[in-house]
Amino acid sequence: MANLDRITFSRSIMGGQACIRGMRIPVSLIVNLVAHDKSFDAILEEYPDLELADIHAALNYAAWLARDEVYPAVSVGNP
């Protein structure tokens, strides 16, 4: 998976949330902005320390997390 080196974790920064390059900008914030139709250019203008590659890394990380497979629980006696 490309660009995951830009995603960092530190208990002392945002309580250990996935952040961009050790900054106090959580991946969840970036993904939320994109999900609510904020353009990449608008995000970069609002957060001048970010780079386009950071936004791509956040989206790649979110996509990677979404690959988890969920299996419904099977109750005893129910096939």
Considering the chain, what is the average pLDDT of its residues?
89
Q: Which helix (H) or strand (E) holds 31?
A: helix 27-35
Tell me the per-residue pLDDT of 5-19, one tens digit each, with 9 for 90 and over: 999 999 999 988 999
Helix (H, G, I), strand (E, B) or coil at 10: strand
Domain over 4-65 is classified CATH 1.10.1040.10: no
Q: Which two tokens stand for residue 9?
A: 């974790």
Type of residue found at 18 = A
Residue identified by tokens 């050790």 is 22
Q: What is the DSSP letter of 4?
A: G
Q: What is the pLDDT of residue 78?
A: 55
Q: How confident is the model at residue 20 (pLDDT cuts 50, 70, 90)?
A: very high
Residue among 55, 36, 35 nearest 44 (CA)? 55
Domain residue ranges of the chain, discontinuous segments joined by +: 4-65
Q: Which two tokens stand for residue 61?
A: 């990380």
